[in-house]
């Protein structure tokens, strides 16, 4: 098939492209970074040119772009988008209904939510990992020495706007939100924040903005839910790292330094394709608390860790439990206390830790391969 790919610098683009070409498809890529993904006349004109100058069987992108969807609908070309972000920006659903769309989300609950709202062009599809590329990587002795650690975490701690959003709120509203935050912080496998954010709560918050003259601010349920989820994720990740840092050699890799209260080593950022796999491979345990608002799906980072041969230490996640066996293929915790207990146990039992890392690697090779995912996408889109 002849395919037009759009990309703006996604992590998985190169692996996706490699397997599309390996399957014999002819691929042309358009690179462009949107200043505004909802309105961009330059992009519309440029992309329209590509779609009219040549004939393509489909347009493909990593993540969903409304202007691409709009143009594919206009020119009657199928548009396949595979999203590794979750939850999606709420406004994107304004472009979900085009008949040419085939939108694949890695979180089953998020996909089902859109389907229940009548968006029939949304489907569930887990992500994939290119273990062949990861297997081919080699690291220098200096890199090995730098990457070795008891516990490593690669990612962001998240900066939540929640404190700013609650600045003008009354004490009852602040107390209620703190209560549901603390409850959700302690519950794994079930996301209930959306159910507890009432219309009355949103009205009180928006009224508080008006009282201080913020007439341009209007908060909806999804925005407040994400702000709370981001704050929970920040609290969980910083607490776990600080407590791990008290007892074990703990490394933190991120573009943003953080003033930890314990001797956690801030190592700066690592390159996704060439350095990050070394961190995963040579760290004894790779901590990966998922963003709290990812309700069921397996984030790309979890697959990256196991695909590189690393031992994954993650919170309980429904789809992780569906595809992997706990304490055989990976290590899942159901409370922060459980996370510490399991970290301590497996750091003291090296043979079991190595066996889990090996099993997890074999499982992603078997069940999370790009060729299988591509076949599923093309079959759904009627292209196979």
Q: What is the pLDDT of residues 352-375, one digit of tens each?
A: 999 999 999 999 999 999 999 999
Give the 3-state secondary structure percentages of the chain, helix then strand then coil, rounded to 5: 50, 15, 35
Helix, strand, or coil here: 59?
A: strand
pLDDT band with cut points at 50, 70 and 90 for residue 213: confident
Q: Which residue has the tokens 């961009």?
A: 40
pLDDT at 21: 98
pLDDT at 160: 93
Rounded Cα distance, 51 and 128, in Å: 28
Rounded Cα distance, 270 and 267, in Å: 8
pLDDT at 215: 72
Question: Average of pLDDT values for 63-82?
Answer: 98
Reported pTM: 0.95
H-helix segments, the chain: 13-22, 41-53, 66-74, 108-116, 131-136, 141-147, 162-165, 171-185, 193-196, 199-211, 221-247, 276-282, 300-307, 318-323, 336-348, 350-367, 370-380
Q: How far is CA 134 from CA 139, 159, 348, in A?
A: 11, 31, 27
Rounded Cα distance, 151 and 344, in Å: 10
198 phi, psi to nearest 5 deg: -90, 165
Rounded Cα distance, 184 and 163, in Å: 17
pLDDT band with cut points at 50, 70 and 90 for residue 51: very high
Say if residues 246 and 343 touch (Cβ distance below 8 Å).
no
Question: Average of pLDDT values for 308-313?
Answer: 98
pLDDT band with cut points at 50, 70 and 90 for residue 189: confident
Rounded Cα distance, 324 and 302, in Å: 11
Sketch out the chain's domains with CATH numbers: 2-128+371-380 (3.40.50.2000), 131-158+230-368 (3.40.50.2000), 162-228 (no CATH)
Question: Average of pLDDT values for 239-243?
Answer: 97
How, if at all, do strands 58-62 and 78-83 pair?
parallel
pLDDT exceeds cutoff 90 at 216: no
Structure tokens at 352: 């079991």
Rounded Cα distance, 234 and 161, in Å: 11
pLDDT at 137: 97
Give, as one character, the DSSP assignment of residue 289.
P
């Amino acid at each position: 098939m002849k395919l037009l790919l759009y990309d703006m610098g996604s992590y998985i683009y190169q692996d996706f492209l490699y397997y599309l070409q390996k399957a014999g498809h002819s691929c042309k890529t358009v690179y462009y970074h949107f200043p505004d993904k909802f309105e961009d006349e330059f992009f519309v004109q440029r992309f329209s040119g590509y779609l009219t100058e040549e004939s393509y069987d489909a347009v493909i992108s990593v993540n969903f772009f409304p202007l691409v969807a709009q143009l594919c609908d206009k020119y009657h070309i199928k548009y396949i988008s595979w999203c590794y972000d979750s939850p999606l920006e709420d406004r994107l659903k304004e472009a979900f209904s085009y008949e040419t769309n085939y939108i694949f989300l890695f979180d089953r609950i998020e996909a089902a939510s859109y389907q229940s709202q009548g968006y029939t062009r949304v489907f569930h599809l887990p992500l994939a990992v290119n273990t062949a590329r990861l297997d081919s990587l080699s690291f220098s002795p200096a890199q090995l020495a730098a990457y070795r650690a008891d516990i490593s975490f690669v990612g962001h701690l998240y900066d939540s706007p929640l404190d700013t959003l609650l600045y003008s709120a009354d004490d009852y509203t602040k107390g209620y939100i703190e209560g549901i935050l603390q409850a959700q912080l302690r519950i794994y496998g079930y996301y209930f924040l959306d159910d507890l954010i009432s219309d009355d709560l949103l009205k009180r918050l928006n009224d508080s903005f008006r009282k201080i003259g913020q007439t341009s601010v209007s908060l909806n349920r999804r925005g407040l839910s994400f702000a709370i989820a981001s704050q929970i994720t920040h609290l969980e990740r910083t607490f776990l790292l600080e407590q791990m840092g008290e007892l074990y050699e703990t490394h933190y890799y991120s573009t943003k330094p953080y003033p930890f209260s314990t001797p956690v080593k801030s190592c700066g950022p690592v390159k996704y394709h060439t350095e990050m796999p070394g961190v995963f491979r040579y760290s004894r345990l790779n901590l990966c608390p998922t963003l709290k608002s990812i309700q069921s799906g397996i984030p790309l980072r979890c697959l990256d860790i196991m695909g590189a041969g690393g031992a994954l230490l993650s919170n309980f996640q429904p789809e992780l439990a569906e595809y992997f066996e706990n304490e055989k293929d990976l290590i899942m915790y159901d409370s922060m206390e459980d996370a510490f207990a399991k970290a301590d146990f497996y750091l003291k039992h090296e043979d079991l830790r190595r066996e889990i890392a090996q099993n997890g690697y074999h499982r992603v090779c078997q069940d999370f391969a790009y060729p299988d995912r591509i076949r599923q996408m093309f079959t759904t889109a009627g292209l196979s």
